[in-house]
């Protein structure tokens, strides 16, 4: 029988295993979102598979009829192995797209089954020491507290400080600690020979986890180099996304959560087309607002204009803006624009910042957000967002929005244009070829109707000139307007369009 003084320690193990179980679940969803996109879908499916597997584990616990304490420790050791190595395995599997989902759901299913076994076994161990109602209330209380601890710690502490791989390995070590502690708490319930083997196994598994923890950074680099086929020049896990800068003969590339943001070979075509038509349309260039664009490349183009007095750059992720100021590869590309005294960098959600910025107006607004491949980004392409954006514009303010590809994501492109029009803007869509991306689109806008700009205010650009500028606004039969829904906050038709269209090319 379990001594009463050991019951608090056993409740502590419930807290730890509950926290670990939730973290493994969150890791699966986060890594699936990075690799497969569409965070809503990935978290929904990973949580569903995980909870279903927990149900299987709980059901299987009913077949444990003898040596319950031994089985519990074995389950903890198995959870430490599978859960601890979950993130490293998924990280290395990311380079093999065809098998990634199979590996992901197999791991989630196995971890969920093991976690589902844990709590019923603990309850079986202490059932003779507590009344049923007390047993259930205490175990479930610690279980739910552990879930809260895991969810808060994952986002606020673990991922920002440890990263995905080391978070997984750290909780594997916590499961080992639970297993080892349990061999002492439950020593009276475990056969002596088995007790020794369990303790030795705990130490061996802990050593393996520690070794991989030490070399986690190298595993990150190996996995990403295999995935991207290039040398990793810089990598960081920010609170919001995985930031990777690669360097090879093919150029310098920035990837956020695996999605290409630019290639140095042809990024000038993208950024010249993004910035200069709007600057040509604007009455003045004194006060500029850039939303997104934390790499500083759009800012580089803005600073070609001598009359620019100040620029406010709002980008959510300080990891990106800090990289653009510190990493030499990127500083050379952005011409140290992020260090110019005329720029004010704000790390905030653009929608939140705009809501607080009413009363200010700008001459040019450049919106350079990542593509709307999830609902968090999709909100920045809605009628609500554009109506808030109107409040920092005058009638002569020029606005430009990067708008994905009118060729590969035609409905998505025209959905953005239609949404801006419904929000009250006069719009002119245009496009250009960026080899790394293909045919790429933008929407130029004002609060009042306007004519297409025909002359640039700067010369000697690498791509754009006065002859090319008007042709950007001409669309072929395969890229022209199509009937689409407007992108509202509550429905986000754009994200559905985007996911459906780009998935055809994966």
Backbone angles phi, psi at 83, to 5 degrees: -70, -40
Structural element, H or E, at residue 426: strand 426-434
Helix (H) or strand (E) run with residue 396 in it? strand 393-402
Answer yes or no: 368 catalytic: yes
- Give pLDDT tens digits for 62-119: 999 899 999 999 999 999 999 999 999 999 888 776 688 899 999 999 999 999 999 9
3-state secondary structure of 483: coil
pLDDT at 4: 55
Place of tokens 């968090």: 376
pLDDT at 97: 64
CA–CA dist 295, 312 (Å, integer): 14
Sorted by sequence, the CB contacts under 8 Å of residue 347 that are 6+ apart come out as 314, 315, 316, 317, 318, 321
Query: What domains sit in the chain, N to C, each tagged with a CATH number?
Result: 4-222 (1.20.1250), 229-261 (2.30.140.10), 265-505 (3.40.50.150)
Question: Distance (Å, rounded) from C-alpha 274 to C-alpha 398?
Answer: 12
pLDDT at 124: 86
Helix (H, G, I), strand (E, B) or coil at 332: helix
Tokens, residue 179: 């297993």
What DSSP character marks residue 156?
I
**Least reliable range by pLDDT among 182-191, 274-283, 378-387, 411-420:** 182-191
User: Are 453 and 417 contacting, i.e. CB atoms less than 8 angstroms apart?
Assistant: no
Q: Tokens representing 24?
A: 């493994």
pLDDT of residue 38: 66
Tell me the β-bridge partners of 430. Answer: 442
- Identify the residue with better confidence: 118 or 36: 118
Q: Could you tell me if 285 and 355 are in contact, meaning their C-beta atoms sit under 8 angstroms apart?
A: no
| Global pTM value | 0.83
Q: How many other CB atoms sit within 10 Å of the CB of residue 157?
A: 11
Strand partners, 343: 311
Position 501 confidence tier, pLDDT thresholds 50, 70, 90: very high
Q: Which two tokens stand for residue 238?
A: 């920010």
pLDDT at 240: 87
Higher pLDDT, 181 or 96: 181
CB burial readout 103-114, b (16+ within 10 A) else e: bbbebbbbbbbb
Q: How far is CA 51 from the centre of its chain?
A: 22
The residues, ordered by sequence, that sit 6+ positions from 381 with a Cβ below 8 Å of its Cβ are 369, 372, 401, 416, 419, 487, 494
Backbone angles phi, psi at 248, to 5 degrees: -160, -175
* pLDDT at residue number 382: 97
pLDDT at position 11 is 81
Q: What is the pLDDT of residue 473?
A: 98
Active-site residue, from 368, 396, 451, 466: 368
For 312-337, what is each residue's pLDDT tens digit? 999 999 999 999 999 999 999 999 99
Alpha helices in 2-131 (DSSP H): 7-36, 39-61, 68-84, 86-93, 97-126
Q: Is 340 left (phi over 0), alpha (psi -120 to 50) or beta?
A: beta
Please check the confidence at residue 225 and state whether its pLDDT lies above 70: yes
pLDDT band at 41 (very low <50, low <70, confident <90, very high): confident
């Amino acid at each position: 029988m379990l001594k009463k003084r050991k019951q608090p320690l056993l409740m502590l193990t419930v807290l730890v295993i509950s926290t670990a179980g939730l973290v493994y679940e969150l890791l699966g969803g986060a890594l699936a979102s990075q690799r497969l996109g569409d965070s809503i879908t990935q978290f929904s499916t990973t949580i569903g598979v995980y909870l279903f597997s927990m149900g299987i584990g709980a059901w299987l616990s009913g077949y444990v009829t003898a040596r319950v304490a031994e089985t519990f420790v074995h389950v903890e050791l198995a959870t430490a192995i599978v859960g601890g190595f979950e993130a490293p395995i998924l990280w290395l599997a990311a380079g093999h797209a065809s098998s990634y989902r199979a590996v992901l759901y197999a791991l989630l299913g196995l971890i969920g089954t093991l976690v589902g076994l844990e709590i019923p076994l603990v309850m079986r161990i202490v059932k003779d020491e507590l009344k049923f109602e007390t047993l259930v209330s205490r175990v479930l209380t610690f279980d739910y507290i552990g879930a809260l601890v895991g969810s808060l710690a994952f986002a606020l502490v673990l991922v920002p400080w440890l990263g995905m791989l080391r978070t997984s390995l750290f909780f594997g070590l916590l499961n080992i600690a639970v297993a080892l502690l349990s061999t002492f708490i439950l020593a009276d319930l475990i056969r002596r020979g088995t007790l020794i083997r369990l303790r030795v196994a705990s130490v061996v598994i802990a050593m393996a986890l520690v070794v991989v923890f030490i070399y986690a950074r190298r595993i990150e680099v190996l996995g990403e180099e295999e995935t991207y086929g290039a040398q990793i020049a810089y990598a960081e896990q920010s609170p919001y996304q995985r930031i990777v800068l690669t360097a090879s003969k093919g150029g310098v590339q920035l990837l956020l959560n695996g999605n290409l943001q630019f290639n140095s070979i042809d990024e000038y075509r993208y950024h010249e087309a993004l910035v200069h038509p709007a600057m040509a349309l604007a009455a003045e260039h004194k006060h500029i607002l850039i939303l997104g664009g934390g790499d500083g490349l759009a800012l580089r183009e803005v600073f070609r204009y001598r009359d620019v007095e100040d620029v406010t750059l709002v980008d959510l992720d300080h990891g990106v803006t800090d990289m653009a100021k510190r990493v030499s590869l990127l500083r050379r590309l952005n011409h140290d624009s992020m260090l110019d005294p005329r720029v004010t960098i704000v790390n905030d959600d653009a929608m939140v910042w705009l809501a607080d910025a009413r009363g200010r107006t700008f001459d040019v607004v450049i919106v350079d957000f990542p593509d709307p491949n999830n609902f968090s980004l999709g909100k920045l392409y809605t009628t609500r967002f554009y109506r808030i954006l109107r409040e920092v514009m005058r009638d002569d303010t020029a606005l430009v929005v990067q708008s994905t590809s009118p060729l590969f994501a035609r409905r998505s492109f025209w959905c953005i244009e239609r949404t801006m029009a419904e929000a009250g803007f006069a719009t002119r869509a245009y496009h250009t070829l960026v080899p790394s991306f293909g045919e790429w689109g933008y929407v130029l806008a004002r609060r009042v109707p306007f004519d297409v700009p025909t002359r640039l205010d700067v010369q000697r650009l690498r791509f754009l000139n006065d002859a090319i500028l008007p042709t950007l606004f001409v669309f072929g039969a395969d890229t022209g307007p199509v009937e689409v829904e407007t992108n509202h906050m509550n429905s986000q038709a754009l994200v559905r369009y985007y996911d459906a269209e780009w998935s055809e090319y994966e």
